Structure 1
Amino acid sequence: MQARRIARELALLALSQLPSSPDKIASQDLPDLLLAAVRTLTAEVHDALSNAAADLSRSHDRLLNSETRAKTLEDARAMVNEAMTHTETAINRLGTALELPEILQLSNRKEVRALALSLLTAFHENRDEIDDLLSRSLVDWQLNRLARVDRDILRLAAAELVFLGHKENVTITEAVELAKRYSSEDGYKFINGVLRRVTEQLRQPGGQPGRQVV
C-alpha cells in the first residue's frame, strides 16, 4: 500500500481528534496520529453497535405489540436488516483499527507521518478558503449539515487539490475510495460529484483560493 494512501486515511481518521493549531499539529508523532485514528474508529464502533441495538429493540417491540400483519412483519424485518448493517459496520471498523498498526509497521513510517501532517496542516492553515470553495461546489446542501466523514473527506481532498498541488484524478479517486470505506452506501457518489464541481471551479479565472491566476 502506498505511503500517500495510508497517510490520507490516517489524516482522515485523526482529523477530528487532533488540535486545530498548525503548530501543535507539527509536533504530533506517528503514535499520536495512530491513537487519534483508533479513537475515531472506537467511537464509530460504539455508535454502530448502539444503533444496531436500537433497531433490534424496535423490531422486537413491533412484533410483540402487533397482530401478525404482513406490513408489520416487513417493517420488523427491515429493522433487523438495519441492525445487521450497523453490526457489520462495527465489525469493519474494529478490523480497520486492528489493521492500522500493522500497516504502519510495514510502511515507510517517516514518509507516512510527513504526508499526513502536511495534509492536516494544509487544511487547518487554509480552512476558511477550503470551506468557501466547497460551499460553492455544493448543490442543495450546506457544508455544516453534511455527515462528519463526508465533510472531512471533502476538506482534505480540497486541501490536496488547491494547496498541495496533487493530481486531480488521483485525489478524487482516493477520496472516492475513502468514502466507499467510511461513508454511507451512496456517499462515494456524492463525494465524486462535489469534487468534480470543485475542479471545475478551480479551472475558472480567479477560482483558486489564495492564488493569483496568471
Structure 2
Amino acid sequence: MPARKQPRSVAREIALLSLSQVKGKAEKLEKLELDQLMLAAVRTLSGEINDILEAAASEVTRAEDKLLKSETQAISLQSARTMAQDSLDLTRKAINRLGHVVELPEFLQLTKQSEVRTYAIDLIGTVRRRHEEIQNIVSDSLVDWQYHRLPRIDRDILRIAVTEIMFLDVPYKVAINEAVELAKRYSDEDGHRFINGVLRRITDKVRSHEKIEP
C-alpha cells in the first residue's frame, strides 16, 4: 500500500497524465467526473508502457542480430551487450510505469477525492485557458532548447508548475518541489534537474519583476 499523499499532489499527478487525453474546451471540464480523469491518466500510462516495451524488444532484436552476424568480433560483442543493457533499462522503466498505474487508484482511496477532482480540473482548465501565456513564460526561460522540442512529459510538468506559480497562487517552493518529484517519477534520468533549472529561472524573473513594481 503506498503512503498517504496530499490531495493536491494526487491531483497534480492525475492532471499531468490526463492533460493530453482530455479533449474539448476548458469550460466543459466541469462536467468531467474523477473516474473519467483517472481513465485518461491510465490510458496515458498504458500507452507509454507499450511504447517502452516495443523499444526494449527492438533493442533485444538488434543485439541478437549483432551476435549472429559477428560472434567473434569484440566490438560487435560489446555493442550487443550495450543494446541488451539498454533493453533491460527500458524494461525496468516499463515496470515502474506499471507500478504507477497500480498505485494511482490506491492513492485516491487514501485521500479526499472531491478535492482531487476539483484541483485537477482547475489545473487542466487553467493550462488550457492560459496556454499562450504559459508557453511564452516557459520559452523565455529555456536555454538551448525550443518549447515544441521538449519531451511531452517535461513540457506538461512545466506547464502545470507555471500554472500554479502564476495563476493559482501556489508558493514557488511548493510548485517547484512538486514538479521535481513528478519529473523524478515520469521523466528521464536528467529530467528533474532540467525542470528544476527552468523553474528557478522563471521564479527569479518573477521575483525580480515584483521588486521593481511601484
Q: TM-score, structure 2 length as denominator?
A: 0.94
RMSD of aligned residue pairs (Cα, Å): 1.4
5+ unaligned residues in a row in structure 1: which ranges?
A: 208-212
1:63 pairs with 2:44? no
Aligned length: 209
Distance of aligned partners of 1:20 and 1:131 in 2 relative to their CA distance in 1, 3 Å threshold: farther
Identity of paired residues, percent?
50
The answer on whether the counterparts of 1:49 and 1:87 sit within 8 Å (CA) in structure 2 is: yes
Q: How does 1:143-162 map to 2 (within 5 A)?
A: 143-162=147-166
1:71 shift after superposition? 1.8
| SS of structure 2 residue aligned to 1:137 | coil
Residue of structure 1 in register with 2:35 after alignment: 31
The answer on whether the counterparts of 1:45 and 1:94 sit within 8 Å (CA) in structure 2 is: yes
Distance in 2, matches of 1:67 and 1:119, equals 54
The answer on whether the counterparts of 1:55 and 1:83 sit within 8 Å (CA) in structure 2 is: yes
Residue of structure 1 in register with 2:129 after alignment: 125
Which region of structure 1 is more displaced relative to structure 2, 194-203 or 144-153?
Answer: 194-203
1:205 shift after superposition? 2.9
The one-letter amino acid paired with 1:158 is V
Residue of structure 2 in register with 1:168 after alignment: 172
| SS of structure 2 residue aligned to 1:196 | helix
1:86 pairs with 2:94? no
Distance in 2, matches of 1:50 and 1:206, equals 48
Distance in 2, matches of 1:64 and 1:202, equals 58
Distance in 1, matches of 2:122 and 2:9, equals 13
| SS of structure 2 residue aligned to 1:7 | helix
| SS of structure 2 residue aligned to 1:138 | coil
5+ unaligned residues in a row in structure 2: which ranges?
A: none
1:202 shift after superposition? 1.3
Q: TM-score, structure 1 length as denominator?
A: 0.94
Write the deviation string for residues 143-191 of structure 1: whole angstroms up to 9, x where unpaired.
1001000000001100000000101111111101110110011111100
Distance in 2, matches of 1:3 and 1:61, equals 49
The answer on whether the counterparts of 1:9 and 1:178 sit within 8 Å (CA) in structure 2 is: yes
The answer on whether the counterparts of 1:157 and 1:172 sit within 8 Å (CA) in structure 2 is: yes
Q: Which runs of 4+ in 1 moved over 4 A?
A: none
1:177 pairs with 2:181? yes
Residue of structure 2 in register with 1:210 after alignment: none
1:68 shift after superposition? 2.0
